[in-house]
Amino acid sequence: MSLILTLSELDGDTLARSSRETLTFARSLADAHGWDLHAVAVGEIPDTAMADLRAQGVAVAHALLHDQLDGDAAPAAIAAAITELHDRLGAGALVGSGTDHAAEVMAHVAARTDLPLASNCTEVAPADGGWDLTRVRWGGVLLEDVHLEADVALLTAAPHQTAAADAVSPGAAELHSFKPELDESLHITRVVERASRGGGISLATAPVVISGGRGVGSAEGFGILEELAELLGGAVGCSRVATNNGWRSHNDQVGQTGTRVAPDLYVACGISGATQHWVGCMSAKKILAINTDPEAPMVTRAHYAVIGDLHELLPALVTEVKNRRGVG
């Protein structure tokens, strides 16, 4: 019997949300083939993450242990280790998340093995000795049905497309350590410095994102968005226009070429909603558009809308939120 090897990433002591989604995606393929679901992670796997892997139905969890993988490893080295493990196991499919890091690692695995890699898949099933799959194009406004012929299926799962769900019966999640024989030359690319933004809530994981576009009008105009985001425990995002005008850092940009977010609520202030922006926020559970133009694509596609000037609404909203906090 063959198996599916899934690249798993940790978020502190637990399995990252993206990796749980990816395991759920990979499990449907494992079930269709009748294959075992394996997971691989870099470094020791903490108990809480092991519990997550069991819940996802993982039969075997591989911990990649090597001093070249401690801390300063570049994706190339991680990919070399995963390729080595794959050679040992003979996996029928290798699946990673469509996150920046995992996608980069998977591309290195694809280059090493010279196998095709289908990026950002939403569905996959065995068919005609290969696989039929659906993948995302144009950041998600289009889908492509593809037939893949290969000895091994290399896939990344599109972020926010599969809801993480526990397996009907938990897996054994037997823990195996794997020490790859990494080539010293891989160490020529390495991380020499890491810095945390320090405090604040990251855009990618914030429960609410208050985002501003052309309508905000200036860098200073974002002050009121910052205030509202802080009150609600959220993060501030922006559109490409705001970045190109130098009002915000590109790290705050939501969109196809920025960050894809999936908060409980996305508040788009003065953003018209071009495709480039829409694909970055369309996975939000709820979207509220605040815009002076009732015909703006952002307004017509949002769940909720307020027609009006954000510079009038947001100060009133901050006061309203503070009042409700005071009363509650």
Judged by CB under 8 A, the chain residues 56 through 75 that form the site for other proteins are 74-75
**CB 109 to other proteins: min, Å:** 10
CA distances from 300 to 214, 262, 290, 295 (A): 18, 19, 11, 7
**CB 12 to other proteins: min, Å:** 11
Cβ within 8 Å of residue 31, ≥6 positions away: none
CA distances from 217 to 209, 223, 243 (A): 19, 12, 12
- Name the maximum alpha-carbon separation found in the chain: 64
Q: Which of residues 184-213 bind other proteins (CB under 8 A)?
A: 188-198, 202, 204-205, 207-208
**What's the rounded Cα separation, in Å, for the pair 155 and 233?**
35
Look-up of token digits 């395991």: 23
Number of chain residues interacting with other proteins (CB under 8 A): 101
Q: Which of residues 122-181 bind other proteins (CB under 8 A)?
A: 132, 136-150, 156
Q: Is 230 in the site for other proteins (CB under 8 A)?
A: no
Near other proteins by CB under 8 A: residue from 92, 234, 237, 270: 234
Nearer to other proteins, 143 or 167 (CB): 143
Q: Which of residues 271-310 bind other proteins (CB under 8 A)?
A: 273-276, 285-286, 288-289, 297, 299-309
Q: 82 near 7, Cβ under 8 Å?
A: yes
Q: Which of residues 69-108 bind other proteins (CB under 8 A)?
A: 74-76, 98, 100-101, 103-104, 106-108
**What's the rounded Cα separation, in Å, for the pair 55 and 43?**
20
Nearer to other proteins, 85 or 305 (CB): 305
